[in-house]
């Protein structure tokens, strides 16, 4: 069942290196006074870096809180940008809802959350779901399904975006001026 969340800005993309992390960092930096939580969700299981403090580790998912500003990993970059708390979830789609629910329990209700995940859109309706794609590359067929669900498509080109990340502001919910995303 799809749950509706007014404090969540969800971002995914057409593939690697399309600017998802850069976009999220700029959204966080623009809203730094709001105590934003950032979450990165991946289906890939890797050994955690030293700054990832384990919260829950099972055979089906791993949940970490990022504590290192210097690792260079996406979760660390979110902290550098000014996120109040950053979580990193490794999970298969089958356990995504369970793992995500455990992280939600760690967050202050009503506070802004920025999430990088494609699969989460299948179970959650955020305020905005942004899909980022390189304006010069074809989108891979597996990403077309997610693109169709997007509220906003953002085109990227060498660190520049068709919609400025500062267009997204949090004031009890994520907001933007219509002119900013047209």
pLDDT in tens, 1-29: 456 688 999 999 988 889 999 999 999 99
Enumerate the domain spans of the chain.
3-171
Evaluate whether the domain defined by 3-171 bears CATH number 3.40.50. Answer: yes
pLDDT in tens, 32-91: 889 999 999 999 888 888 899 999 999 999 999 999 998 889 999 999 999 999 999 999
Cα separation, 111 vs 103, in Å, equals 13
In the prediction, which pLDDT does 4 show?
Answer: 64
* DSSP secondary structure letter of residue 2: P
Cα separation, 166 vs 44, in Å, equals 30
> Which residues, other chains included, contact 55 with Cβ-Cβ below 8 Å and sequence gap of 6+?
63, 64, 65, 87, 102, 103, 106
> Which residues, other chains included, contact 13 with Cβ-Cβ below 8 Å and sequence gap of 6+?
19, 20, 118, 131, 132, 133, 143
Higher pLDDT, 167 or 49: 167
């Amino acid at each position: 069942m799809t749950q509706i969340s007014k404090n969540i800005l969800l971002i995914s993309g057409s593939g690697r290196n399309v600017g998802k992390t850069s976009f999220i960092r700029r959204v966080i930096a623009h809203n730094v006074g709001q105590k934003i939580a950032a979450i990165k969700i991946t289906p890939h299981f890797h050994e955690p870096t030293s700054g990832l403090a384990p919260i829950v580790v099972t055979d089906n998912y791993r949940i970490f809180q990022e504590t290192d500003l210097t690792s260079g990993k996406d979760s660390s970059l979110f902290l550098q940008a000014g996120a109040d708390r950053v979580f990193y979830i490794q999970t298969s789609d089958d356990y995504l809802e369970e793992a995500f629910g455990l992280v939600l329990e760690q967050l202050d209700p009503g506070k802004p959350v920025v999430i990088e995940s494609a699969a989460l859109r299948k179970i959650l309706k955020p305020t905005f779901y942004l899909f980022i794609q390189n304006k010069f590359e074809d989108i891979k067929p597996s990403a077309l399904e997610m693109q169709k669900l997007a509220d906003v498509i953002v085109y990227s080109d060498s660190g520049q975006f068709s919609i400025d990340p500062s267009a997204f502001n949090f004031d009890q919910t994520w907001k933007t001026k219509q002119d900013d995303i047209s």
